[in-house]
Amino acid sequence: MVSQSSPRGNGLFRAALLFFFVGVLAIVAIFVVAATGHEPGLVLYLIALACPIGFLLGIVFALRSGRRVRREGNQ
């Protein structure tokens, strides 16, 4: 049995990945800027907040897809 995810659920997964990796890149940029002797700007710190947002979206996606599979299994 092949489980097909809805386009909305797939979009949530892609958004989670995008936010997470943008946040990771911002964190790396903060370390690179700090290593050069400059102070990272507020913008980098705010963009770094995308990492935990992406992580939370990933958890929401996993919980929603788990419910969908469980519902399909009961039928």
Residue 32 lies in a domain: yes
Residue 53 lies in a domain: yes
Residue 61 lies in a domain: yes
What are the helix and strand counts (H, E) for the chain?
3, 0
51-66 per-position pLDDT tens digit:
999 999 999 999 998 8
Residue 8 lies in a domain: no
Residue 2 lies in a domain: no
25-50 per-position pLDDT tens digit:
999 999 999 999 999 999 999 999 99
Alpha-carbon gap, residue 69 to 17, rounded angstroms: 21
pLDDT of residue 75 exceeding 90, the answer is no
Residue 58 lies in a domain: yes
Residue 13 lies in a domain: no
Q: Where in the sequence is the domain holding 44, given as residue range(s)?
A: 18-70
- For the entire predicted model, the pTM comes to 0.76
Residue identified by tokens 């102070």 is: 39
Count structural domains, the chain.
1
- Mean pLDDT computed over 64-73: 70
Instruction: Give the pLDDT confidence score for residue 2 in this predicted structure.
Output: 43
The Cβ-side half-sphere exposure at 73, using a 13 Å CA radius, reads 6
Task: Tell how far CA 73 is from the center of its chain.
Answer: 28
